[in-house]
Structure 1
């Protein structure tokens, strides 16, 4: 009897172990399946063990998705993203929402893993399951943490770079579907500041004005030369009393000294924390005959960091540009290298020299002005949201340290949409004021104003020439009077892509 019962006991024991093994395998598969389900959709895996809680989490998730989609479809996906990204208050709400949502999601993953851990698990299988649950939680935590980080950076950037109040008299967007519907043009002055430890105050290295058609996005960049003389001031400018005929004391009264003039007469501008910029803005407005609405000041000491943060900038270099060079006693010295002609991607160091070098240029400052406008156009056209997202922390830090814009924070959504119009369909044209189209020593500002108006409001193209013949006459050609050109003998209004 004993010998016969032993095989039966062994078979029973083997059967029980087999059943336990299959049960353990089912529990293990269920652990991984349900934990993965709670990772993909918060709470989905909890429905098996905590039905009400799981259903509540799943329902909350899908309701949130539906609400976001409905909002995005109603306002437009791009517009919706922009409206959140440029609003400090919206970002302030978004940060805790992301944190709470991520914590609830991660709790669902952990609870699912704990509820479905096979009984008696130990050793490597248990370690593997714990690691799996931890990785699943990390898949939610990592992007949530990065999103919060970017939102905090963006909120800080908006507060540091942009103003709270709109400049007096500036063209302003409205509140309708098209915020720019009531504004034909907006003019922005771009100043490259060469402030540094070895300089007394600021002398603008470059002054440009971008005049933007708000409906088409078409933009004209006007370059104002540093050595322009007889700078006019408006009647509202206190300095007009000292210089009723303009800033006209020869080569000691150039455009590049206007900023310093304003700073040195700060007492004439009570309550103004930047009289140098105020006077420069007024001068640019009088030179071009345009109302300057907003200003952007870029510290060129940080320009290198800005280009590097963007991953470089692609430029079609038209002429050889020297690096490290300067003019001393009429002789070019200090050259350490060259940027050769051709299409190439420049890093920050070479982009700065491309924009500032003038020692060996074909026409000195004016050649440099053309290159600076090419750089502005290239940077604007090559901004790519996807690539910028990867570099954003570094880019934001560079902008905070080196850029100041007086566009008010509440208008940033409208401005973001305007930039998209410029990139999507607007052409960027360039009209430099150089010694080839004006007399920089004795400029005719009436003529300059006409040039500017022709550039931003070009006349319609002339009808095509028609040729007709009759049996009793010789061929005759009827033409219309040629339209006036905006410049003569050299630097003319042209598409920036053609000149750069």
Structure 2
């Protein structure tokens, strides 16, 4: 006797639903992969195969939004308030660079008391360059000092700094030595040694503090430590999806010619590396007769390590 074959079972609605869900799931994965691939391609597009270099300038007074047309500076650059802040010194100058291959972000701190050539050809401290010639002058000094091109600038005043620190809930810092501010002999502010969370006004005093004859390099070290702490806090508080919101907020606190979209792509590329993708180095200097001078050999070695552009040998 032959074995009777079972009749084919009709497809159930539940089976069709499951198949649809599987198809939708696969489509979603492919779509997500395509989106991330597109974002990565866009990051590669903005980073290219050369370092992108940005000068960060912290000024000691509120920045007011004004526009002034300036003749003689690089055409095509937008210095919307670059030459309107004469008389304001720059207490902090850093040159940042994003390496195109490693996606690592390096910050190079320049001491404010570093002796450089001012816009009028005379010698003076780096802190005086902004007062003498604004952002273009600071960019020119950085280019001459490091023998690299500066592509963008970021200018921040102290009100923007304190607002940013407050926005992320403060920054945790290990205070190495007590900090005391006096007014007419009266103690008005004190930070004791140890681990502390600093909010905006306290953080501002911390990064600006300079005790007596203490060299500016000590203050630069505090600024370096604070930047590392700030980055740590931001990485903990902000995810990639929250990055656009933070970027818009930061954009309201600073003056820059860096396009918002490009800045977001750069930040996204760096944040994928987490804190390992960011480091802070200080410019090599030497003291001669009490003056802070550039260490030419040390600077050349640092630039060769941190910055990358195969065409610079021809251009500079």
TM-score by length of 2: 0.68
**Offset, 1:443:** 2.5
Q: Within 5 Å, which residues of 2 pair with 1:400-419?
A: 400-419=251-270
**Offset, 1:346:** 1.2
Give the SS at the match of 2:92.
strand
**Offset, 1:312:** 0.8
Distance (whole Å) between structure 2 residues aligned to residue 392 and residue 444 of structure 1: 37
- Structure 2 counterpart of 1:420: 271
**Offset, 1:399:** 2.8
- Structure 1 counterpart of 2:219: 368
Taking a change above 3 Å as real, the CA distance of residues 307 and 390 of structure 1, as seen in their structure-2 partners, is: farther
- Structure 1 counterpart of 2:125: 254
**Offset, 1:372:** 1.0
Give the SS at the match of 2:108.
strand
The answer to whether 1:384 aligns with 2:232 is: no
Taking a change above 3 Å as real, the CA distance of residues 415 and 394 of structure 1, as seen in their structure-2 partners, is: closer
Structure label with greater radius of gyration? 1
**Structure 2 contact 235–274 (Cα < 8 Å) conserved:** no
Match of 1:220 among 106, 120, 135: 106
- Structure 2 counterpart of 1:194: 60
The answer to whether 1:73 aligns with 2:42 is: no
User: Which structure is higher in helix share?
Assistant: 1
Give the SS at the match of 2:291.
coil
Q: CA RMSD in A?
A: 3.8
Taking a change above 3 Å as real, the CA distance of residues 391 and 418 of structure 1, as seen in their structure-2 partners, is: closer
Give the SS at the match of 1:374.
helix
Distance (whole Å) between structure 2 residues aligned to residue 213 and residue 400 of structure 1: 23
**Offset, 1:320:** 1.7
Distance (whole Å) between structure 2 residues aligned to residue 340 and residue 75 of structure 1: 49
Match of 2:171 among 300, 313, 330: 313
Give the SS at the match of 1:179.
helix
Taking a change above 3 Å as real, the CA distance of residues 190 and 223 of structure 1, as seen in their structure-2 partners, is: same
Distance (whole Å) between structure 2 residues aligned to residue 64 and residue 229 of structure 1: 64
TM-score by length of 1: 0.45
- Structure 2 counterpart of 1:356: 208
Taking a change above 3 Å as real, the CA distance of residues 387 and 455 of structure 1, as seen in their structure-2 partners, is: closer
Give the SS at the match of 2:32.
helix
Gaps of 5+ in 2: 1-20, 64-84, 308-316
- Structure 2 counterpart of 1:301: 159
**Offset, 1:75:** 2.8
**Offset, 1:374:** 1.6
How many residue pairs end up in the alignment? 265
Gaps of 5+ in 1: 1-60, 84-173, 233-238, 263-275, 327-331, 458-500
Give the SS at the match of 2:207.
helix
The Cα offsets for residues 115-167 of structure 1, whole Å up to 9 and x where unpaired, read as xxxxxxxxxxxxxxxxxxxxxxxxxxxxxxxxxxxxxxxxxxxxxxxxxxxxx
